[in-house]
């Protein structure tokens, strides 16, 4: 098969790769579409010890079952593979499973990803494509589940009605835009701000939100103003912004993984009882709820997704790296 293979820091090669071999209780999927995630970019930059070249990245995937159970069925994949037996899996918090692995990772267990013509996945991670969801747009299900889980974590930890909360989303990539769309269109929050430094991407966010889309230095972003701050970037600078803008008793939900450490105002967090929540993925239930949201088009038509041919994938990665790409999400088509 043909695949876009991560071969070294900032290096991707479109080339021949061995086909996956069918295993018990797993199926081979003919990939229809696969989205580029921020964690794929971390690997591309050589900053993810779980993804070691050579490796096929990509975990936001839709396709058709080519071999295995339910051959011929159109599907979307939940790429988070868990053990099913630990205390977290038993309590339906499988996203915290200590043995969890993801498609497009090879540490601790190798799982080739979806930037290829074919991908192998456990049957339990395969969901039938909803009738009203475009196959090419379906990979957005995975980041939407991440955003939904993050928003609902904030909802559980804030001591007031979501409708009355002032919310700030930091970052206008897919997770940030999806978080803002969920806050706006599903949770009915009335006062939402999204901040993004890239003017091209900010324009896309503004075109798809009724909320306030602003640059990070906007005077509309006020200190001690927001009940909820969702940091979808994960830089030291965005964490500092998050604590600055959060009001006493507020909630910060931290999704981004760009920088693992740095200075943070723990004094304010302590004195003003600010709740800080880290989150990385989602539960199986979140994924199922996401498919329903997308099938009912509750967060819009998703026309902000941009599509590229898989054989031009290296160029797409480079444009995301350079900041010349305006689309919050690029999906690659084999």
Helix and strand tally (H, E) in the chain? 9, 18
- Check for a shared fold between 2-137+302-333 and 146-278: no
Closest CA relative to residue 317, chosen from 57, 51, 74? 57
CA distance 67 to 318: 34
Instruction: Give pLDDT tens digits along the chain (334 positions).
Output: 999 999 999 999 999 999 999 999 999 999 999 999 999 999 999 999 999 999 999 999 999 999 999 999 999 999 999 999 999 999 999 999 999 999 999 999 999 999 999 999 999 999 999 999 999 999 999 999 999 999 999 999 999 999 999 999 999 999 999 999 999 999 999 999 999 999 999 999 999 999 999 999 999 999 999 999 999 999 999 999 999 999 999 999 999 788 889 999 999 999 999 999 999 999 999 999 999 999 999 999 999 999 999 999 999 999 999 999 999 999 999 9
Taking alpha carbons only, the member of 246, 241, 248 closest to residue 217 is: 241
The tokens of 121 are what? 């996945």
Task: Give me the residues paired with residue 56 across strands.
Answer: 5
Q: What kind of fold does domain 2-137+302-333 have according to CATH? A: Quinone Oxidoreductase; Chain A, domain 1 (3.90.180)
Positions of E strands within 19-59: 26-35, 55-56
pLDDT at 257: 82
Distance CA 127, CA 123 (A): 9
Q: What angle do CA 76, 253, 190 make, to 5 degrees?
A: 90
CA distance 157 to 228: 10
Cβ neighbours of residue 292 closer than 8 Å, sequence gap 6 or more? 130
Which residue is associated with the tokens 């989150």?
279
**Residue 256: per-residue pLDDT:** 78
What's 146-278's CATH class? alpha beta
Complete edge-to-edge strand list for the sheet that includes strand 212-214? 212-214, 191-195, 166-170, 226-231, 246-254, 275-278
- Domain positions in the chain are 2-137+302-333, 146-278
The pair of three-digit structure tokens given for residue 32, joined into one six-digit string: 């229809």
Q: Are 286 and 314 in contact (CB under 8 A)?
A: no
Assess contact for 149 and 262: CB atoms under 8 A: no
Q: What is the model's pLDDT at position 99?
A: 95
Phi/psi of residue 236, each to 5°?
-55, -40
Which residue stretches of 195-235 are H helix?
Answer: 199-208
Can you tell me the distance from the alpha carbon of 136 to that of 107, in angstroms, rounded to the nearest whole number? Answer: 29
Q: What angle do CA 179, 183, 184 make, to 5 degrees?
A: 115
Residue 139's nearest CA partner among 37, 64, 40, 60 is 60
The distance in angstroms from the start CA to the end CA of the chain is: 10
Residue 73: burial class (beta carbons within 10 Å; 0-12, 13-18, 19+):
middle
Q: How far apart are CA 197 and CA 203, in angstroms?
A: 11
User: Which residue, chain included where needed, has tokens 């998050």?
Assistant: 242
């Amino acid at each position: 098969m043909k695949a876009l293979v991560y071969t070294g820091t900032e290096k991707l090669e479109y080339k021949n790769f061995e086909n996956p071999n069918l295993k018990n209780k797993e199926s081979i999927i003919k990939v229809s579409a696969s989205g580029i995630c921020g964690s794929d970019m971390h690997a591309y930059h050589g900053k993810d010890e779980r993804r070691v070249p050579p490796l096929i990245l990509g975990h936001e995937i839709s396709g058709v079952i080519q071999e295995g159970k339910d051959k011929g069925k159109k599907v979307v994949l939940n790429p988070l593979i868990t053990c099913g037996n630990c205390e977290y899996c038993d309590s339906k918090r499988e996203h915290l499973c200590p043995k969890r692995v993801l498609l497009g990772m090879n540490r601790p267990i190798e799982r080739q990803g979806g930037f290829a013509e074919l991908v192998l996945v456990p049957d339990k991670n395969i969901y039938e494509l909803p009738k009203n969801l475009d196959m090419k747009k379906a990979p957005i299900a995975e980041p939407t589940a991440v955003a939904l889980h993050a928003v609902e974590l904030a909802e559980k930890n804030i001591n007031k009605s979501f409708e009355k909360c002032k919310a700030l989303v930091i970052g206008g990539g897919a997770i940030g835009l999806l978080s803002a769309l969920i806050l706006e269109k599903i949770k009915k929050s009335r006062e939402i701000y999204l901040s993004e430094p890239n003017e091209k991407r900010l324009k896309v966010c503004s075109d798809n939100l009724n909320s306030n889309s602003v640059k990070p230095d906007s005077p509309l972003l006020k200190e001690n103003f927001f009940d909820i701050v969702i940091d979808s970037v994960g830089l030291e600078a965005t964490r500092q912004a998050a604590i600055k803008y959060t009001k006493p008793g507020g909630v910060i939900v931290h999704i981004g993984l760009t920088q693992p450490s740095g200075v943070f105002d723990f004094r304010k967090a302590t004195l003003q009882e600010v709740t800080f929540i880290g989150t990385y993925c989602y539960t199986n239930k979140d994924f199922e709820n996401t498919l329903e949201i997308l099938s009912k088009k509750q967060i819009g038509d998703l026309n902000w997704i941009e599509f590229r041919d898989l054989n031009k994938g290296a160029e797409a990665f480079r444009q995301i790296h350079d900041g010349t790409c305006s689309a919050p999400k690029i999906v690659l088509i084999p």
